[in-house]
Amino acid sequence: MPNLNIDFAGIKAPNPFWLASAPPTNTGYQIMKAFDAGWGGAVWKTLGVPVINVSSRYGSTNYGGNRMAGFNNIELITDRPLADNLREIEEVKKYFPDHAVIASLMVETKEEWMQIIKDVENAGADGIELNFGCPHGMCERGMGSAVGQEPAVLQTIVEWVMEAANIPVITKLTPNISHIVDPGLAAVRGGTNAISLINTIKSIVGIDLDTYAPYPVVDGKGTNGGYCGPAVKPIALEMLKELTKHPEIQNIPVSGIGGIETWRDVVEFILLGAGSVQVCTAVMHYGFGIVREMKTGLEQFMIEKGYETIYDFKGKALPNVTEWKHLNLKHKVVANIDTNKCIGCDLCYIACDDGAHQAIRIPEENSNRIPEIIEENCVGCNLCSLVCPVEACITMEQRDNGKEHLTWDEKTKANEIPTSFNDDRAGGKHHFVPTVADALKHRK
Amino acid sequence: MSEYKRPTSEIEFKQNFAQKKPLMNPTEAAFESSKCLFCYDAPCITACPTGIDIPLFIKQINSGNLTGSAKTIYESNWLGNACGKICPTQELCEGACVFNHQDLPPIQIGRLQNFASSAAIKEEKKLFSPGTPNGRKVAIIGSGGAGIACACELRTMGYEVDIYEAKSKPSGLTLYGIAAYKITNQEVEDEINFLEKQMGLNFICDHPIENKTQLEKLEADYDAIFLGVGIGATARIGLPGEDKTNVVGAVEFIEELRLKHHHLTVPKKVVVIGGGNTAMDAASQSARMGAESVVLAYRRSKEDMGAYGFEYKLAISAGVESLFNAQPIKIIGNGKATGVQFIKTQVINGKLENIAGSEFILESDLVIKATGQAKQKHFLELIEGLELDNKKRIVVNESSFQCTNPKYFAGGDAVNGGAEVVNAAFDGKMAAQGIEQWLNR
């Protein structure tokens, strides 16, 4: 059986599955339940200055039959007394000495930082996470994302914290910034032991069409919330890669957060260099039991690939994440439809004809609606295979011989930048070109 | 043996005749509608005789535009709610759903259709208005699916429309000819009332058109006449003893049952003769009425039956027994039928032949003949120049539904010899457009 133990910047945990600082980690009760269910660590719901929360706090983006493809919230940091939280941290550590309990913190002044670090260390926390991410409410008071968006301020606070802290410090970054490396570097330069990202993304998930207020509605008004859930995973993965590929940051452990729900998500984050993962929305949707699927999936993946620890494959995808200019222009794939599997929905046809490159036709004599690829027009864009509802019905097949390799970068260096449009795959050359009459045949 | 007890109250009747396609709840509709692929040039649309834009109305349900969804349905089919319930959707839209090709259950299109259309009916949503009066009048004979569809379509174009109905309530076979577990009386009436209010339909009930004088008056008073007269009573099959009191026609039985519900008494032993969908309905309903034994007797093999497979299965699941290759030759009994004498048949060189000496008697205290209906030949022959085909169906132009007497248009069972309500709805709509084109020629 693979060994899922991790050592994340000195914080040890029985597995990389941590709960993110959020409503599921609001109380000791919840965290003990979570550890009992199989979670390896938990970042406590942010402790800090006193706050008051509003009623109606969460909003959701549903997609078709699926709830909470995206999720946002306007809840603030903990509104429970600090003393209660500290007592519960101590209690959790008593029951679960080998699990990671990390205190998320957000205060304003240097004195407040000093004091609260001392408090959580005394309570027995294994680490600290600095909440520089919340994009709603707290930022209006100069905390949360207001700090994360100002690298200089962020660095100063990290320096204060590092002065006082005796346990590992994780700096949590906001994605509400155009260049994630800037706050990442500031955190590293401030001396942080680790980084976690992403916090939630500024968002409005929808508008109530009767009250004309954004969700979640609070007495006829709303505000931007923080967006998370499966919809944000691609953004999180990209930002994770920005840090883990950066020469000055890559040696700092990064805890990946953002839309993680299944073992596949977990593996993807680890492949891009995450040393632990943090989960919130999936638990808010399905409860702590969701960790069983992640754990068994990760273990099975590791068994099949022959990995003993997550460090055997941590960052393994990073060498393959490159810039566009280094992609092989000689590589060519075209779509292939398995006519035995095709159900004749013709979504590939209309997606390609209306939304892409007019490379699929429905033969007129064909009564079973099975479309065919017009190979000379197919640019290998994948769209048809993405819209196809049937498993493995449309596949992309390689057409180049795999021997030629030429990149834009190489062309540039060889001074071969084209001065005219001469790509064989582009529209107009050797192509079937539909006519004006074809475009207007349904016109009434 | 039937599993149903004889219903003695409306509640028990409703239990025995539980709707085959019950109304979806909002959760079910949201879930089901989310599964639709929104196929390009969707096969379900092609399979629908009225060509409803099914993927669109399903997407509208899913996006919370229930009224828009109902409008999409009614734009193609004026009996959208009735058709959602009584159409053989397995054979039409749902049978064409691409999910069938991957062994997935098809989208429940009929029930989704009802979810949208019944909401519009219940909330009395204004979906359509009559067109600006164009000064023209059309008489419609028969208020079944074809007549109502024709009337509604004509009203949108500004025609004044009078619908002559022989019975005391409109809707024809939609109300009187459908098995009670497919649609309730209330549902049929609600849809007709909805259309009546919305379109300003003028039903003239208890007003049979049956003689030459009446027809001449209609011809004089109206710009065009639409014949939605359907087909007639169950035809005689010419069996000795056929006139006995407890030998009834299937359509008459179904009508009586729809009107009387649990007040109709179905005796213990029922024999249904026939192999079509009406035979299945009559047999299935007899079983649901608590008959102890119901035997469906068909002169040919199971494979030769005209009924849809699912209708046969439904009858069997209600407790009906089947008897194939049995030709009725005589109704036994003294004044009242006590049995049916059959002879076994076999197919020799493609011809159905009786097997000599194989006669047997099946006891029965109700014989239901589901062997086809007589055409309205005598009535139709009163109309000058109205051509009928060799099966006594009205001959019409296939796109305009105009008869050989140009003042007349026709659709529904009178033209197709007996099909689904959805076919009648299509015919009626097309005939209205045919009338418009002809009058504007």
Q: How much of chain A exceeds pLDDT 90, in percent?
A: 88
Contact B98 A65 (CB under 8 A): no
Contact B34 A65 (CB under 8 A): yes
Cβ atoms of residues A286 and A26 within 8 Å = no
Cβ atoms of residues A303 and A2 within 8 Å = yes
List of chain B residues whose C-beta atoms are within 8 Å of the C-beta of residue A342: 101
Contact B40 A346 (CB under 8 A): yes
Element (H, E) at A118: helix A110-123
- Cβ-proximal residues to A364 (8 Å cutoff; 6+ apart), any chain: none
- Cβ-proximal residues to A138 (8 Å cutoff; 6+ apart), any chain: A51, A76, A77, A106, A131, A144, A145, A146
C-alpha distances in Å from residue B344, one per residue of A240, B18, B324, B358: 80, 36, 8, 6
> A313-363: per-residue pLDDT in tens?
999 999 999 999 999 999 999 999 999 999 999 999 999 999 999 999 999
Quote the DSSP letter at residue B99. G
Cβ atoms of residues B214 and B225 within 8 Å = no
- Check whether A266 has a pLDDT greater than 60: yes
Q: Which residue of A has its CA nearest to B27?
A: A65
Contact A343 B99 (CB under 8 A): yes
- Beta bridge partners, B353, equal B346
Cβ atoms of residues A169 and A135 within 8 Å = no
Q: What's the mean pLDDT in A7-26?
A: 98
> A61-73: per-residue pLDDT in tens?
999 889 999 999 9
Cβ atoms of residues A71 and A157 within 8 Å = no
Amino acid letter, residue A63: Y
Phi/psi region, residue B31 (left: phi>0; alpha: psi -120 to 50; beta: rest), is alpha
- Confidence bin at A367 (pLDDT 50/70/90): low
Distance CA B55, CA B62 (A): 11
Query: What is residue A142's predicted lDDT score, i.e. its pLDDT?
Result: 86
Reduced to 3 states (helix: H, G, I; strand: E, B; else coil), residue B115 is: helix
Q: How much of chain A exceeds pLDDT 70, in percent?
A: 99
Give which of A268, A281, A274, A280 is closest to A234, Cα–Cα.
A268
- Check whether A134 has a pLDDT greater than 50: yes
Chain B segment 8-37 residues within 8 A of A by beta carbon are: 30-31, 34-35, 37
Ordered by start, the domain boundaries in chain B are 22-122, 137-232+375-439, 247-369
ipTM over 0.90: no
User: What burial letters (b/e) apply to A230-263, b meaning 16+ CB within 10 Å?
Assistant: bbbbebbbebbbbbbbbeebeebbbbbbbbbbeb
Q: B105 to chain A, minimum CA–CA distance in Å?
A: 13
List of chain A residues whose C-beta atoms are within 8 Å of the C-beta of residue B62: 64
Q: What is the 3-state secondary structure (H, E, C) of A12-74?
A: EECCCEEECCCHHHCCHHHHHHHHHHCCCEEEEEEEECCCCCCCCCEEEEEECCEEEEEEEEC
Of A343, A350, A390, the CB nearest to B40: A350
Distance CA B280, CA B272 (A): 9
* Catalytic residue numbers of A, as ranges: 134
- Check whether A431 has a pLDDT greater than 90: no
C-alpha distances in Å from residue B145, one per residue of B165, B260, B338: 12, 22, 38
Q: Which residue of B has its CA nearest to A339?
A: B101
Of A65, A341, A342, the CB nearest to B35: A65
Tokens of residue A21, six digits: 């600082």
Strands B321-323 and B336-348: unpaired
| Chain centroid to CA B275 | 17
Residue-averaged pLDDT of chain A = 95
Give which of A164, A163, A192, A39 is closest to A101, Cα–Cα.
A39
Distance CA A421, CA B322 (A): 74
**Architecture (CATH level 2) of domain B247-369:** 3-Layer(bba) Sandwich (3.50)
Provide the strand spans (E) within A198-236: 201-203, 225-228
Q: Which of A337, A369, A387 to mutate to test the interface with B (most CBs of B within 10 A)?
A: A369
List of chain B residues whose C-beta atoms are within 8 Å of the C-beta of residue A347: 37-40
> A80-119: per-residue pLDDT in tens?
999 999 999 999 999 999 999 999 999 999 999 999 999 9
Q: Which residue of A has its CA nearest to B106?
A: A343
Of A66, A343, A346, the CB nearest to B101: A343
Q: What's the mean pLDDT in A54-61?
A: 96
Q: Which of A62, A210, A343 to mutate to test the interface with B (most CBs of B within 10 A)?
A: A343
Amino acid letter, residue A16: P
Element (H, E) at B290: none
Distance CA A229, CA A83 (A): 31
Tens digit of pLDDT at every position of chain B (441 positions): 447 999 999 999 999 999 999 999 999 999 999 999 999 999 999 999 999 999 999 999 999 999 999 999 999 999 999 999 999 999 999 999 999 999 999 999 999 999 999 999 999 999 999 999 999 999 999 999 999 999 999 999 999 999 999 999 998 887 788 999 999 999 999 999 999 999 999 999 999 999 999 999 999 999 999 999 999 889 898 999 999 999 999 999 999 999 999 999 999 999 999 999 999 999 999 999 999 999 999 999 999 999 999 999 999 999 999 999 999 999 999 989 999 999 999 999 989 999 999 999 999 999 999 998 888 888 999 999 999 999 999 999 999 999 999 999 999 999 999 999 999 999 999 999 999 999 999
Tokens of residue A305, six digits: 């690939």
Query: What is residue A33's predicted lDDT score, i.e. its pLDDT?
Result: 98
- Check whether A381 has a pLDDT greater than 80: yes
Residue with tokens 């050359």: A429
List of chain A residues whose C-beta atoms are within 8 Å of the C-beta of residue B101: 342-344
List of chain A residues whose C-beta atoms are within 8 Å of the C-beta of residue B103: none
List the domains of chain A with CATH numbers.
Answer: 6-319 (3.20.20.70), 324-439 (3.30.70.20)
Residue length of chain B? 441
Cβ atoms of residues A273 and A298 within 8 Å = no
Contact A347 B39 (CB under 8 A): yes
Q: Omega of the bond prior to A247 within 30 degrees of 0, cis?
A: no
Contact A65 B38 (CB under 8 A): no
Distance CA B154, CA B433 (A): 8
Distance CA B191, CA B81 (A): 7
Query: What is residue A208's predicted lDDT score, i.e. its pLDDT?
Result: 96
Distance CA B37, CA A365 (A): 24
Give which of B405, B380, B382 is closest to B393, Cα–Cα.
B380
- Cβ-proximal residues to B191 (8 Å cutoff; 6+ apart), any chain: B79, B80, B81, B82, B117, B121
Query: What is residue A428's predicted lDDT score, i.e. its pLDDT?
Result: 57
Q: A71 to chain B, minimum CA–CA distance in Å?
A: 19
Cβ atoms of residues B376 and B232 within 8 Å = yes
- Confidence bin at A139 (pLDDT 50/70/90): confident
Q: B97 to chain A, minimum CA–CA distance in Å?
A: 9
Distance CA A414, CA A408 (A): 10
A284: Cα within 13 Å, side-chain hemisphere: 26
Query: What is residue A385's predicted lDDT score, i.e. its pLDDT?
Result: 98
Contact A390 B39 (CB under 8 A): no
- Beta bridge partners, A256, equal A197, A277
Contact B43 A349 (CB under 8 A): no
Domains B137-232+375-439 and B247-369 share a fold: yes
Tokens of residue B232, six digits: 């007639």
Query: What is residue B173's predicted lDDT score, i.e. its pLDDT?
Result: 85
Distance CA A121, CA A86 (A): 9
Query: What is residue B1's predicted lDDT score, i.e. its pLDDT?
Result: 44
Q: A262 to chain B, minimum CA–CA distance in Å?
A: 22
Distance CA B259, CA B209 (A): 23
Query: What is residue A427's predicted lDDT score, i.e. its pLDDT?
Result: 61
Tokens of residue A222, six digits: 């709303």
Q: Which residue of B has its CA nearest to A393?
A: B102
Distance CA A407, CA A326 (A): 5
| CATH number of B22-122, picked from 3.40.50.10490, 3.30.565.10, 3.40.30.10, 1.10.1060.10 | 1.10.1060.10
Angle at A196 between CA A191 and CA A200, to 5 degrees: 130
Element (H, E) at B41: none
**CATH H superfamily, domain B137-232+375-439:** FAD/NAD(P)-binding domain (3.50.50.60)
Cβ atoms of residues B307 and B276 within 8 Å = yes
- Beta bridge partners, B70, equal none
